[in-house]
Amino acid sequence: SPAGREAVGASLTKAPNGVFWLSWVEPAPPVPGGPAPVAPARHQHGAAPSGGPNTLRFAKFAAQEKRWGSPQTIAVGNGVPVSSADFPQIALNGDGRGFAVWTNGQGGAAVSESSDDGATWSAPAPWTSGGQTVEKFSFVRLSDGRVLVAWLDGRARQTGGTAQQLFARILGARSGDVLVDPSVCDCCQTTLAAFPDGGAILAYRGRTAEEVRDIRFSRFHGGNWSAPQPLNNDDWRIAACPINGPRVATDGGRVAVAWFTAADNNPRVLASFSPDAGGRFLMPLRVDQGRPAGRVDTLILNDRAMLVTWVENDGSVWLRRVSPEFALNAPVALAPPGAINPKTVPRLALVRDYQGGKSDVQLLATFATGGSGPLRTLLITVPEGELLEFENECGCSPTPAELQGFSIRGTIAQVPSQPGVVRVNQSGLPGVFAAGERDFKIAPGLLNEAPVGRALLGRIQERDGEWWLFDLRSLGAP
């Protein structure tokens, strides 16, 4: 990667135009004659002080050329954290605007904004005034362009409370911080993912009075948060924080979640899936190699397959595919034993999805080598076509059209006067649309296949801000 040798806190962000941004922090060089810097993995919560101002930087990835551009600077200062677990992140709106968010290790939270695609950045400013101890934040761009942020907050302890709390807010909005959960694990990372309907799902590690620290989730919809629910009853009881949060990914209303647990003194990495925006989750699968350290990430593909990465205790990094039938493929080593510090958090991003036939999936992964080497980035090709070759032979492989967008069932309500538009009375699609009538763009040649009153199956996809209906299949005469 273009980062300096001692860089930590790697984060990957994909802009709406498909460009990837890698961000990282370069620690200040030691002060001559001063104390030796503390290694990030040994300092509390993964943060390390330094002898001077640290630098937050980023670079863009040119997918066609398969190379990184020149590094650019976002911020320099003592308030930029050097951390392997609580590092800065970037959110991009797609119109040239971007937000870099970080916590300064002293209870503060800072945001810097760019309106020119990263050429210049504003001076850091607080993004919450209520929190006294802000850490382990996550944030996501919603479908309407706003940025939702969630974080662990210690403000209750300032008034005699004992529990760490979970708050959220819309970045830059006048509305205040919202309490999502009054008792959470002290320092495990949170994770957010957005839905097309304007909502989002938040996953994190909870905490009960009995010290059960299992993964919980909450849905953000219509400006409100749902009551927190356990994602799975692992029943992990631990009187300490493992600094090991979950990761969530969405594709339409489909949700993939990966997390670490050591319930019953049995450390393991688990993965689960929800087909209905968190309405229900499948019984989790164990994906690790036997001695996991956790530090997970996950993606969900067009064909509903999940990809999960994690770290083993020997410092190796692994990738595993969970098939659309929720079965495991063989694990793949991304880095050998000793490659990274087991407390490092690798990050994963989807460069190119499966498009049908024998096309490949392409991924971008990044992780720090724990102070013994530079920040690594890997371009990974998953031979999806080979994995599904048996389906191609039987003629049951999904077509490219069947991998685009989302399937719906409904009835043609009317054909409006506007050319190329059809109104459909559709069943609900969790995370995408509520049930009811909605207008869709449609190719002119398909209008004859969609008479009023005809029930149909079809697929919908958002293209340049408009929803299109295609791949129609009639369910019979009215």
Question: pLDDT tens digits, residue range 241-284?
Answer: 999 999 999 999 999 999 999 999 999 999 999 999 999 999 99
d(CA 37, CA 43): 10
Half-sphere exposure in the Cβ direction for 44 (13 Å, CA): 6
- Average pLDDT value for the chain: 87
Residue 46: per-residue pLDDT: 40
With 60 as the cut, is the pLDDT of residue 5 above it?
yes
Burial 176-188 (b: 16+ CB within 10 A, else e): ebeebbebbbbbb
Grouping H, G, I as helix, E, B as strand and the rest as coil, residue 474 is strand
The pTM (predicted TM-score) of the whole model is 0.90
The set of residues, in sequence order, having a beta carbon less than 8 Å from that of 269 and lying 6+ positions away, is 258, 259, 260, 286, 287, 288, 292, 294, 296, 308, 310
What does the pLDDT read at residue 38? 38
What local confidence, expressed as pLDDT, does residue 371 receive? 54
Contact partners, residue 431, CB within 8 Å, separation at least 6: 195, 196, 197, 199, 250, 252, 253, 254, 255, 276, 277, 278
CA–CA dist 283, 430 (Å, integer):
20
3-state SS, one letter per residue, for 120-184: CCCCCEECCCCCCCEEEEEEEECCCCCEEEEEEECHHHHHCCCCEEEEEEECCCCCCCEEEEEEE
Residue 424 β-bridge partners: 412, 438
Span 397-433, pLDDT tens digits = 667 777 888 989 999 887 766 788 889 999 889 999 9
pLDDT value at 141 more than 60: yes
What percent of the chain shows pLDDT beyond 90?
A: 57
Q: Cβ–Cβ contacts within 10 Å for residue 160, how many?
A: 6
pLDDT band at 35; cut points 50, 70, 90: very low
Rounded to whole angstroms, what are the CA distances from 196 to 219, 287, 303, 396?
13, 29, 18, 29
Asked if residue 253 lies in contact with residue 199, where contact means CB atoms within 8 angstroms, the answer is no
d(C-alpha 13, C-alpha 100), whole Å: 11
Residue in the block written with tokens 């006048």: 174
Q: Yes or no: say if 459 and 407 are a contact pair by the CB < 8 Å rule.
A: yes
Per-residue CA distances from 114 to 58, 150, 257 (Å): 13, 21, 31
Please tell me the distance from the alpha carbon of residue 181 to that of residue 217, in angstroms, as a whole number. 10
Beta bridge partners of 230: 216
Indicate the residue type of 442.
I
Please tell me the distance from the alpha carbon of residue 232 to that of residue 217, in angstroms, as a whole number: 10
Q: How do residues 167-201 score in pLDDT, each as one tens digit?
A: 999 988 888 899 999 999 999 999 999 999 999 99
242, 231, 176, 164: which is closest to 202 by C-alpha?
231
DSSP single-letter state for residue 375? P
Predicted local confidence at residue 149, as pLDDT? 94
What are the phi and psi torsion angles at 155 (to 5°)?
-65, -30
Confidence (pLDDT) at 48: 44
Residues forming beta bridges with residue 409, ordered by sequence position: 457
| pLDDT for the residue numbered 419 | 81
Q: Looking at this protein, which amino acid is placed at residue 281?
A: F
Query: CA-CA distance, 44 to 135, in Å (whole number)?
Result: 12
Average pLDDT on 311-317 reads 95
User: What region does 65 belong to: left with phi over 0, alpha with psi -120 to 50, or beta?
Assistant: alpha
Tell me what percent of the residues of the chain surpass a pLDDT of 70.
88
Residue 128 has pLDDT above 60, yes or no: yes
- pLDDT (0 to 100) of residue 420: 86
Q: How confident is the model over 43-96, as pLDDT tens digits?
A: 333 444 444 689 999 999 987 888 999 999 999 988 898 888 888 999 988 788
Residue 8's closest CA among 79, 66, 67, 88? 88
Distance between CA atoms of 154 and 107, rounded to whole angstroms? 9
Q: How far apart are CA 118 and CA 120, in angstroms?
A: 5
* Strand duo 466-474 + 436-442: pairing: parallel
* pLDDT bucket at 472, cuts 50 / 70 / 90: confident
- Give the DSSP letter of residue 449: G
